[in-house]
Chain A
Amino acid sequence: MKADTQVVITGAGLACSLGKDTAETWKALLSGETGVKPVRGFDTADFGSRVAAQVEGLTPGSLGIHPRDARIMDIHSLLLMMAGREAFMAAHPVHSGMLGEEMGFFAGMGMIDYKIDDLMPAVLKSLAPDGSMDYHTFYARGYQEIHPLWPLSVLNNITFCQVAIDLGIRGENSVFCPHADGGMIAVTEGIRNLREARSRLVLAGGVSEKVSPLSLARGHLAAILKISGGTGDSRCRPFGEGDKGTVLGEGAGLVALELRSSADSRSVPYSVMISGYGHACEPLDNGPAPTARVIAWAMNQALETASLRTDDIDLVIAHGDGTLHGDRSEKEAVTQVFSGRGDLPVFSSKAALGHLLAAAPAVDIILGKLIIENGIIPPVLPEDTRQEDAGRGGPGFNLVTGRPLKKNVRKIMINCQSYEGQCSSVILESVA
């Protein structure tokens, strides 16, 4: 790849259940911790899945956000803002005299759900004496009980715009929705943007949706959640046997991307570049996942873009969300693309962080950067499952479990997929 098209990461920001920033999260991951706990904030007694990796203790005040602005914000807004600020702090574009219009912003956003409490006053105002809904009253007057700014809080792009305002970003942008593929497309659109000289720096990544009754209901309807009673080890088991299903998480990840030449001219340190990417879409007929065929196609496309062979890859950070269909398709695709490489290390962050949906790809890219920098791969699960998995035929690759694996990693393939059939892959490479 020509040096003038190399896109490097000059800043990273991460906020999730395991930490409010990149360093905290990394330390917790290496310790084998998980953010998955019984759900807080609402009663899950009637949901099959009662656990999630939620973020605790985050308030608008702790980020210095004015109460006026906080009125239309929720946890996802705060997470994206935190990740953006951390990435910007590291890349410090403004200190280099970069103008707002020279900076781009591309992000994947999780679903924004109605908060029933926002609508409740309007319905209560419209109840007939017998307790039924009086539609005429609702249409004529009841709706006026809804806060005037409520509509903004349910627009998918408002959080994105709030972060753009917070950071003063005025350049090229786009916002995608709502699964992991949206977050990955955001990253690759950012790369294209830089290579075509439309921006000097791009912030790219995504944010999860808030864990709520509606997000859990959506997960159950899609048949993707692990059924758990909230006791014992409730984290998901990527590529493992037993109870299949994923666990929702809250989090955001953003990377500051720029051309290597730009980073050099600004004397900003960097350790990795994103050298390849591929996207495809083909839903399975019988489950919420892409087919193995298109996952393999996206992986091969990423290798081709990066001008690499499968032997060059030291690690795969899999989507590995623990779902029956998702794991099955990805396992088949990985073993097909990396045929004969049973020793290939594979990592997935979802057992520890939960499924961060649109945030997952950027978070995995940031974790990949840390793996390359530190020469150590965190365990997918704290217990060593290799013998157990081998007894069942094994996944066909070396899923890192038990203890962190020390390894000199220079090139990583990172996968992600949606429940609607989309899938994406990128290649992260050391530039040291």
Chain B
Amino acid sequence: MPVKKTKRRVVITGTGMVSPLGRNCAETFDKAAEGISGIDYITSFDTTGLPCRIGGQVRDEWLAAFDDRAAGRLERYSSRGLRLMRTAVIEAAVQARLNEVKDRERVGVSLGSHGENISVGEMSDLLRFYDGRGQWDIPGLIKSGNYSPFQLYLRKPDTATSILSMLFDCRGSSLSLVSACAAGAQAIGEAARIIQDGKADAMIAGGCESTLNFMGFIGFVLIKALSEKYTTPQTASRPFDRKRNGFVMSEGAGAVILEDLEHARSRGAVILGELLGYGSSADAYRITDTHPKAEGAFIAMTAALEDASLSPEDIEYVNAHGTSTTQNDLVESLAIRRVFGERAKSVPVSSNKSMLGHTIAAAGAIECITTLMGMHRSIMLPTINHEFRDPKCDLDYVPNEARHTPYRRALSNSFGFGGQNACLCIGAFEG
């Protein structure tokens, strides 16, 4: 391998979030620090008869309104996922004073998202005009007026990226990542690479997801990925617990403003932290299973450490992917043991998904932010619902209560369906 060149340092100057726990970063973190769950029975669609009827919903009143003409023009093209993301980006951009950056060709957007799902009503309307043998009655469909043409825009992931570019006047690189649960973390990692390469001074980066609708939800019901055995919604997501039985689907968005250190300094931006490293990998194993020896997860974590020029001994906390599925939590625990060796049991590991549920493409971004906020407040968020010890999950999962401990360097894991993995190495800023 060739010798690496000296990298530009990438810092975080703004964060924004909307989640089942709160309308912004502070609300979400404060409630998570108290071990409060954001999971409840789903009200956004009829779950009658489904084996899982719970999720983490974001309240509609928390979403930023399209209250000016420029934004209003774009409202009909905006999926719920984008509305969540816009809310998060507004918070992050205000904190970073992003509007003060003059050269907008050097400000870009990197977004992990997957577009909106078709609704059952739209699907049944479509099928009324399809004969099942490849023939469509297009004039009839158009005449019916029941299928909105804007649905096609809502499905396209790059529509959201492009709209964010317009709303926040970003004319630089525009990336739309679709790597499932790894998309949010990958969006942040790839944005950092663009800054390190000198192609941008600042990037809006993060992820959003809203699959709490019937067609989005039943996909995960069908592959039996969701928790189906729970006594209360709030106790269903139980990462690393012996009685875990699937993840809980949630919606949300997380946004960070990444910036070249010198650029941030030159304009007097407040530096919240540093993105020290990023690693990604593929399991290349089976499309429906994670690698049993945690190869992909191990490669991503070690790549992030190498990118940060750190060793495992430098890491004081791991924000786990921790989905609450049997398979992920076993494999992730194994990966952490492989990375940290004998020290593994003394490294605190916790899963935000125990409280927030799994926000899919948003998860990596939200968890990057909570990790950073924990550094500022010297709080490691807990893994709640940790009641029954799993002998194969034998690490320190910060069970049930937040831990008041200072830490300055952490890893945040995101592992996606199909076997795409990402890991971010996040640090407190050290000038």
Contacts and interface: CB of A to CB of B under 8 A. Distances in A.
Contact of A182 (B158, B179, B224): B158
Interface string A16-52: 0000000000000000000000000111001100000
B303 A198 contact: yes
A173 to B, nearest CB: 5
A157 B280 contact: no
A432 interface: no
Contact of A422 (B158, B194, B197, B214): B158
B42 to A, nearest CB: 12
A175 B105 contact: no
B48 to A, nearest CB: 5
B170 A221 contact: no
B101 interface: no
Contacts of B134: 41-43
Contacts of B92: none
A177 B158 contact: yes
Interface in B272-315: 279-288, 295-296, 299, 303, 307
Nearest to A215: B152
Interface string B31-59: 00000000000000011111000000000
Contacts of A143: 214, 218, 221-222
Contacts of A169: 282, 284
Contact of B295 (A150, A170, A197): A170
Nearest to A191: B197
B298 to A, nearest CB: 9
B171 interface: yes
B105 A152 contact: no
B162 interface: yes
B97 interface: no
Contact of B417 (A157, A179, A197, A213): A157
A119 interface: yes
Contacts, number: 252
A170 B173 contact: no
B109 A281 contact: yes
Q: Which residue among A41, A138, A173 has the maximum number of chain B CB atoms within 10 Å of its CB? A: A173
A301 B159 CA distance: 24
A196 B4 contact: yes
B127 A123 contact: yes
Contact of B419 (A113, A148, A165, A178): A165
Interface string B209-249: 00000100011111110000000000000000000000000
A181 B282 CA distance: 23
A116 interface: yes
B118 interface: yes
A215 B69 CA distance: 31
Nearest to A168: B284
A175 to B, nearest CB: 5
A160 B178 CA distance: 10
A175 B162 contact: no
Contacts of B388: none
A410 to B, nearest CB: 25
Interface string A290-324: 00001001000100000000000000000000000
Interface in B363-397: none
B190 interface: yes
B222 A151 contact: yes
Contacts of B135: 42-43
Contact of B161 (A47, A119, A420): A420
Contacts of B126: 116
A277 B158 CA distance: 21
Interface string A108-119: 010101101101
Interface string A174-210: 1111110110010001001101111010000000000
A151 B219 contact: yes
B173 A279 contact: yes
Q: Which residue among B48, B153, B176, B222 has the maximum number of chain A CB atoms within 10 Å of its CB? A: B176
A144 B223 CA distance: 11
A135 to B, nearest CB: 7
Contacts of B165: 281-283, 421
Contacts of A114: 118, 123
Interface in B1-27: 1-5, 7
Given A42-B136, A192-B193, A420-B162, A105 B178 contact: no
Contact of A171 (B178, B189, B197, B281): B281
A383 B7 CA distance: 51
26 contacts: A111-B155, A114-B123, A117-B132, A120-B127, A120-B130, A120-B132, A123-B127, A149-B288, A151-B218, A154-B219, A157-B420, A158-B417, A161-B283, A162-B287, A174-B186, A174-B190, A175-B177, A177-B158, A181-B158, A197-B1, A200-B1, A214-B152, A217-B152, A218-B152, A281-B173, A418-B162
Given A169-B284, A177-B176, A280-B172, 4 more contacts: A114-B123, A148-B224, A214-B152, A422-B158
Interface of A: 4, 41-43, 46-47, 69, 72, 100-101, 105, 109, 111, 113-114, 116-117, 119-120, 123, 133, 135-136, 138-141, 143-144, 146-152, 154-158, 160-162, 164-165, 167-179, 181-182, 185, 189, 192-193, 195-198, 200, 213-214, 217-218, 221, 259, 261, 278-283, 294, 297, 301, 418, 420-422
